[in-house]
Amino acid sequence: MAVWDKKILILWGFMFLLAGAVGQSVNYPRSVCAMKGSTVTLPCTFKTLASVTENGKEVLIKINRVVWCPNHEICQGGTPSVYDSKSDKNNPRYRYLGDKKGNCTLQITDLQTDDNATFRFRVETNHGKATFTGPPGVKVIVENTRMKIKTESNREFKRGERLTLKCNAMCTFHQLEVTWFRDGNTLPETGPTLQLGPLAAKDSGNYTCGLKNNNRTLSQPYSLHVEGEEEAGDVNLPLIAGVVVGVLLALFALVLVLCIIKRKRAAAAAADQLQPSVESEQKRPDIIYSDIQHPAEQEPQEDISYAAVQFKQKNKARPAEEAEDGVIYSSVANRG
Ligand X SMILES: *[C@@H]1O[C@H](CO)[C@@H](O)[C@H](O)[C@H]1NC(C)=O
Give the E-state strand segments of 197-304 in sequence order.
Answer: 205-211, 222-224
119-151 per-residue burial string, b: 16 or more CB within 10 A, e: under 16: bbbbbbbebebbbbbbeebbebebbeebbebeb
Site string for ligand X, 223-252 (x = CB under 6 A): x-----------------------------
- Contact status: 90 vs ligand X (CB under 6 A): no
Q: Is the C-alpha dihedral spanning 157, 163, 169, 170 positive or negative? A: negative
- Contact status: 25 vs ligand X (CB under 6 A): no
Pick one of 183, 229, 231, 321: the residue that binds ligand X (CB under 6 A). Answer: 183
Smallest CA-to-CA distance from 129 within 45, 59, 28 is with 59
- Contact status: 79 vs ligand X (CB under 6 A): no
Nearer to ligand X among residue 45 and residue 172 (C-beta): 45
- Tell me the C-alpha distance between 79 and 72, whole Å: 8
- Whether the Cβ atoms of residue 139 and residue 129 lie closer than 8 Å to each other: no
- Whether the Cβ atoms of residue 186 and residue 205 lie closer than 8 Å to each other: no
- Contact status: 185 vs ligand X (CB under 6 A): no
- Contact status: 45 vs ligand X (CB under 6 A): yes
Nearer to ligand X among residue 41 and residue 277 (C-beta): 41
- Contact status: 97 vs ligand X (CB under 6 A): yes
Nearer to ligand X among residue 87 and residue 103 (C-beta): 103
The minimum distance between CB 117 and ligand X, in angstroms, equals 8
Nearer to ligand X among residue 76 and residue 116 (C-beta): 116
SS3 assignment, position 53 = strand
Binding footprint of ligand X on the chain (CB under 6 A): 45, 97-98, 103, 105, 113, 116, 141-142, 144, 183, 205-206, 221, 223
